[in-house]
Amino acid sequence: MTEASQVEQGKIGVVTVTYNSEPVLQEFFDSLAGQTYRSFVLYVVDNASKDNTMEMARQRTDLPIVIIANAENLGVAEGNNQGIRAALADNCDAVLLLNNDTVFPAEMFTQLREGLARYGCTMTTPKIYYHNEPNKIWTAGGYFQPWLGYRTQHYGEGQQDKGQFDIVRTVTYAPTCCVLIHKDVFRHIGLMDPLYFVYVDDVDFMYRAYKAGFVMKYLPQCKLWHKVNSLTGGLSSFTIHYCTRNHIYFLRKHLHFGLARIWTAAYLVYFFSRRLISKDSKPVWLAKWGAVKEGTLMHLGSRSQLPPMHT
């Protein structure tokens, strides 16, 4: 594919949210600089990093880069919104939501972009591996589990790649670690819900896109390696709080009133049973209980509309 034909296909706005991301940025920026698809702009949305993240971004004059520096941490969801708005205002016809704790080969943007046209879809996502175990799959696309309160699941998670997920297929969910999204999706369903702050915001967005009938294709030939938990540090009180709180908020936001109450009750039974059989320590249990109450109150006071596409 020539560079001219790439430009004709439209500009990609690559949106990444940084927060003390210095340890991973060198490889991330190098992966971007090596892309064969050149019609893109990188939007770095920084949530008040205290390390050298901003300096590293400013030094990358080899990249078409726009920096949005926040004075405080606005969260991943609102950070993505800032980048999406900027990309659409700059006439990007597709937005790539992309974690910066990732590395990827030179053809990734080309493959994601070509996938939109080839399969007549509005979103594409790659096969994602664990960075520290390069042949182990983190996700080969994903799906919702309605029978478990619309919990999400990754295809192939933890499996060695033996070609078992090498067929292009429609998926209903993919983490926004790496998803290329046509601008029409945002115009129809809006942006990310900033009330989530972090975690489950991608589940909410993908659920809205799924319910609106937008099609996402998983592209197995397109690959990326993710440094899973390299910046968040894995399971912590922070992660426990936001994952629990946001799951309750999601259920009460999206499900019919009666069904939401049933699933909330089921979650509480599961929640209390884990304490009874000592699966959760008392501090973890108390953190979850506080998060459950907060998630319930969030729905009662949530905004009636999603954030507008433009500022």
Beta strands, E only, the chain? 12-18, 40-47, 65-70, 94-98, 102-103, 123-130, 133-139, 142-145, 151-154, 169-171, 178-182, 216-226
Q: Is the pLDDT of residue 309 over 50?
A: no
pLDDT of residue 6: 42
The pLDDT tens digits for 35-69 are 999 999 999 999 999 999 999 999 999 999 999 99
**pLDDT given at position 2:** 37
Share of the chain above pLDDT 70, in %: 81
Q: Work out the angle at residue 256's Cα, subtended by the Cα atoms of residues 182 and 189, and round it to the nearest 5 degrees.
A: 15
Beta-ladder partners of 65: 42
Can you give the length of the chain in residues?
A: 311
Phi-psi region of 235 (alpha: psi -120 to 50; beta: other; left: phi over 0): beta
Fold category of 3-226 in CATH: Spore Coat Polysaccharide Biosynthesis Protein SpsA; Chain A (3.90.550)
Which residues partner with 45 through β-bridges?
17, 68
Please tell me whether residue 194 adopts helix, strand or coil conformation.
Answer: helix
pLDDT at 211: 96
With 50 as the cut, is the pLDDT of residue 113 above it? yes
Are 202 and 106 in contact by the 8 Å Cβ rule? The answer is no
For every residue of 75-111, DSSP letters joined together read: HHHHHHHHHHHHHHHTT-SEEEEE-SSEE--TTHHHH
Q: Read off the pLDDT band of 174 (50, 70, 90).
A: very high
pLDDT tens-digit series, residues 183-241? 999 999 999 999 999 999 999 999 999 999 999 999 999 999 999 976 665 567 788 88
- Provide the token pair at 65: 């880069």
Please tell me whether residue 288 adopts helix, strand or coil conformation: helix
Residue type, 68: I
Query: How high is the pLDDT of residue 299?
Result: 66
What is the per-residue pLDDT across 253-303, written as a single tens digit (0 to 9) for each?
887 766 666 666 666 666 667 666 666 676 776 667 677 778 878 866 654
For residue 303, the model assigns a pLDDT of: 45
pTM assigned to the model: 0.88
Domain boundaries, given as residue ranges, for the chain: 3-226, 237-300
DSSP string, 17-49: EESS-HHHHHHHHHHHHT-S---EEEEEEEE--
